[in-house]
Structure 1
C-alpha cells in the first residue's frame, strides 16, 4: 500500500527547474538514497545542480549476528558502498556527510539524545543552506526513517530554514498500515520520470550496495536482505515524492 490511484493520476510532475540547488538528500541507511532518489540524484548531477547526500545511521544492524564482520567492519563496508553508489550517481565524496547515529536507534523525539542529534543536524543545515531537502516520508514504517525526518524537521525549525521540503517513500510499498499512507489533505504527490539513462544509473547504484543484496556477509542467515519484490518497486521509470501542504 502506498497511495491510491486517484493520487497517482493527479500527481504533479517534479522538474529539475523546480530545484535550483543546492539540493540535500537525507538517507537513513546506505541504500535509501539510491532506492528512493537515485534517478533524481543522477539527473541533478547531470545538470550540474549541486546535490549533497547525508547518511544518517551507521548501518551496523543489517547483519547484527555476524561474527566474521564485526560492527566496525560492517559500518566501513556500508559507508564505502554508499560512497561508490553516490559516485555512480554523480555525487563527489566531498558532498557526502556521515552522522553515524546508531542503526535502528537513530534518536526519535523524546529519546535522551534527540536534542543533541538535532543540534548536529541543524549545524550542518545552517552551513549548507540548501534550496530543497529530500527526506523519508514522515510515517515511513521504519523507526530510523521516521527519526531522520523528525531530526531534519527540528533542524529546520531551529535554523528558520526557508526552502522546499520533499519526502520520499521506501517501506510504504511493503509495510504500510492505512494510517501510514499520505493523505490528500497533507501532501501533494509528485512524480519524477526517469529516462533509460537515469534508470540505468539508478540500477547500478542500487547494485553497489552488495552487502544489502546478500552478496558479502554470509554468517547471519536471519539478517536483512533486499528481496526481489522489494527491489521491483524501485526499478521503474517513476520516482514518487510528497510535498507538504504545511509549507
Structure 2
C-alpha cells in the first residue's frame, strides 16, 4: 500500500485559505499611501528580516519623502532554521551574519546602519525578557520621539512576534509610547499555523483555523500602502537576508522561507492595522 503524505492534501487548502484572507482584507482596505509616507517612525521587528518582510515598502516610501526611519530588532536571530544547517556555523556566527544581512537590507531600503538598533534578546525567548524589552522600547521612544511606531501583529502566531506585540500594546495602553500612533504589520499572520489550534487532527485543525481567520477578518480593518514601482527593490532587500532564503553557501537541510509564504509580501500593497488606545485596552480599529 502506497504511503500518502496527508500534509500534501491539507497544505494547499491552508494556503488557499490564507490567500482568501488576504483578498478579503485587501478588498476593504483604504489606500493610505500618501498619509503613511509621512511621519518619522520606529519599526520594531522581532527578528532580522521582519522589518523587510512587513515594512519594506513603508520604509522606502517614508525615506523617499525625507522622513526619519529607525529600525530596532528585538532578538538576535540565532535560532533561525539555518543555524546548524550550515556547515561549521555556530550560533554566534549566525547572529553576526544576520546583523550584517539586516544592515545590507536596510541600506537598500534607505536606512543607514546608524539608524538600526539590535536589542540582542535571545531568539525564541522574548517571553522571559518582557521587563528588559519594555525598558528598552521605552528608552528608544524617549530618545527618538517617533510620531509612529510599527510592530508585528498580535495575530502573527510566532511566539516572539506575539510577545513583542503584546509588550508594545501594553505600553500603548499605559500611554508610554510618547503619544505615537501605533500600527501593526502582519508577517506570520499569513501562515495558517497562526490560526490553527495545536493538538487537533488535520480536518479539525483546518476547520478551526478557517473559523478563527474568518472571524478575525470580519473584525479587522486594514489600511493599504501601495507598492507600485518598488516591489523589485523590496525583493532585492529581502535577498540580502540570505540565511532566510536558502542562499547561503554550504546550507544543508534548510531551503529558506517557502515561496507560498513569501508571495504575500510582494503583492501590489502592504497591509497595516492601526491600534487605538481605549480605557479597556488597545484594540484594532
Please indicate the TM-score interval, normalised by the length of the shorter structure. Answer: 0.7 to 0.9
- Give the drift of 1:95: 0.9
Q: Secondary structure at the match of 1:9?
A: helix
Q: 1:230 to 1:58 in 2, by over 3 A?
A: same
Specify every segment of 5 or more residues in structure 2 that has no aligned partner in the other structure, as ranges.
Answer: 1-16, 196-208, 279-285
Q: Secondary structure at the match of 1:152?
A: helix
TM-score (norm 2): 0.77
Whole-Å Cα distance in 2 between the matches of residues 114 and 180 of structure 1? 27
- Give the drift of 1:93: 1.0
1:65 aligns with 2:97: no
Residue-by-residue CA offset, 1:32-56 (whole Å, 9 max, x unaligned): 1111111111111111111111111
Maintained 8 Å contact 2:57/2:270: yes
Q: 1:216 to 1:4 in 2, by over 3 A?
A: closer
- Partner of residue 192, structure 1: 225
- Partner of residue 211, structure 1: 243
- Give the drift of 1:183: 4.9
Deviates more, 1:11-20 or 1:86-95: 11-20
1:226 aligns with 2:257: yes
- Partner of residue 114, structure 2: 94
- Give the drift of 1:10: 2.1
Maintained 8 Å contact 2:221/2:273: yes
- Give the drift of 1:149: 1.2
Residue-by-residue CA offset, 1:199-232 (whole Å, 9 max, x unaligned): 12111101111111112164552x4721121121
Maintained 8 Å contact 2:43/2:70: yes
Specify every segment of 5 or more residues in structure 1 that has no aligned partner in the other structure, as ranges.
Answer: none
Aligned equivalent of 2:39, options 2, 21, 32: 21
Deviates more, 1:138-147 or 1:9-18: 9-18
- Give the drift of 1:163: 2.2
Q: Secondary structure at the match of 2:237?
A: helix
Count of residues in correspondence between the two structures: 240
- Partner of residue 136, structure 2: 120
Residue-by-residue CA offset, 1:167-201 (whole Å, 9 max, x unaligned): 1111121223143674544x4211111112x1121
Displaced runs of 4+ in structure 1, greater than 3 A?
Answer: 1-7, 178-185, 217-220
Tell me how large the CA RMSD over aligned residues is: 2.2
Q: 1:171 to 1:4 in 2, by over 3 A?
A: closer
- Partner of residue 165, structure 1: 182
Q: Quick check: which has more Rg, 1 or 2?
A: 2
- Partner of residue 14, structure 2: none
TM-score (norm 1): 0.88
Maintained 8 Å contact 1:12/1:191: yes
Whole-Å Cα distance in 2 between the matches of residues 158 and 122 of structure 1? 11
